[in-house]
Amino acid sequence: MKIIKSASAVQKLTSGLRAKNKLIGFVPTMGYLHEGHLSLIKFARKKADLVFVSIFVNPLQFGPGEDYKKYPRDFKRDEKLCRDAGVDYIFYPDVKELYPVIYSTFVVEEKTTSGLEGEIRPGHFRGVMTVVLKLLNIVQPHFSIFGQKDAQQASVIKKMVNDLNINTKIIVAPTIREKDGLAMSSRNVYLSNLQRKDAPYLYKALEYAKRKIEDNKYNRDVDFLSKQMYKLIKSRPSVTKIDYISFNDTETLEEMKTLKQINKKTGVLVSLAVRFGKVRLIDNMVIKR
């Protein structure tokens, strides 16, 4: 396994690999890897001749007062995990490598970023899309893998790739969870013992929605279902705020007001974002009826 810090060096390498018809798989990350990341790497390892992983905490996607400086970092740990998982190359640039002093070009999508995380975190997706487009142009992968846990991000990236005719395939892999249902996240390390005990109630709320939506006899509207989920989560003592509980079309991300709007083939994306003090967790589930 090799570690490369230069964007131009990666471009030169991958251009040569493509010329030799080597299939390149790519997993972009912000580091502090967990089993969720490793599942993406293992998927790529099965499909690709060569697997690239990027480790870069992207400052552009953090807003004022968010946890950019405190975001967990441990490159030595990440390096070992990547090596053990069979990664061929780690792209590990510093901030100046991707954003020189004179940098002033950004990517903006004007529809699927308007709600959910985009509404709560203005500018977040401008940062996400900008860095992902740069990484795709640098690594030049045949396919790139993102996790379902960041469902809106995956949807936005797929739209960007389609709209801008980027030569890569976007694969969305399932969310990996702890035994109690909590979605794996680098931010989970911030949780106190009580918060960690309460955090699985996000998944319990999603499971509640799943049971009700799959029950063809259940005809309550989305507002009632959202309120029941809200009560379940807010019953936990360490929950300080629920940013949103939302029901959206899985493709357009348009908000749904009634279960009658659910497409029987694609289902509905049920998403939520919850704060435990300074720790903010997101989760989601695609549900069909």
Strands 241-249 vs 89-91: parallel, antiparallel or unpaired: unpaired
The set of residues, in sequence order, having a beta carbon less than 8 Å from that of 168 and lying 6+ positions away, is: 26, 136, 140, 141, 142, 143, 144, 161
Q: What local confidence, expressed as pLDDT, does residue 229 receive?
A: 98
Q: Give the residue from 156, 150, 159, 234 showing the smallest Cα distance to 187.
A: 150
Q: Which residue has the tokens 């946890």?
A: 67
In 10 A of CB 281, how many CB atoms?
A: 20
Q: Which stretches of the chain are DSSP H helices? A: 7-19, 35-47, 75-85, 95-98, 117-120, 124-139, 151-163, 193-198, 201-214, 222-234
Question: And the tokens for 183?
Answer: 């979605």
Rg (CA), the chain: 19
- Both tokens of 97, joined, read 């490598």
* Distance separating alpha carbons of residues 280 and 277, to the nearest angstrom: 8
Q: What angle do CA 260, 117, 221 make, to 5 degrees?
A: 20
Residue 134: what pLDDT? 98
Can you give the pLDDT of all 289 residues of the chain as single tens digits?
Answer: 999 999 999 999 999 999 999 999 999 999 999 999 999 999 999 999 999 999 999 999 999 989 999 999 999 999 999 999 999 999 999 999 999 999 999 999 999 999 999 999 999 999 999 999 999 999 999 999 999 999 999 999 999 999 999 999 999 999 999 999 999 999 999 999 999 999 999 999 999 999 999 987 777 789 999 999 999 999 999 999 999 999 999 989 999 988 888 888 899 999 999 999 999 999 999 999 8
What CA–CA distance (Å, rounded) separates 250 from 170?
A: 16
What CATH code would you report for 186-287? 3.30.1300.10
CA distance 34 to 190: 14
For residue 105, the model assigns a pLDDT of 97
Map out the domains of the chain as residue ranges.
2-173, 186-287
What residues have CB less than 8 Å from 162, skipping those under 6 apart? Answer: none
Run of H or E residues at 170: strand 169-173
The Cα 236–Cα 257 span in angstroms is: 26
- pLDDT for residue 220: 78
What's the token pair of residue 234? 């807010």
Active-site position among 34, 37, 124, 142: 37
- Whether 37 is catalytic: yes
pTM exceeds 0.85, yes or no: yes
Identify the CATH homologous superfamily for domain 2-173: HUPs (3.40.50.620)
Predicted local distance difference test score (pLDDT) of residue 73: 96
29 DSSP β-pair partners: 55
Q: Are 159 and 109 in contact (CB under 8 A)?
A: yes
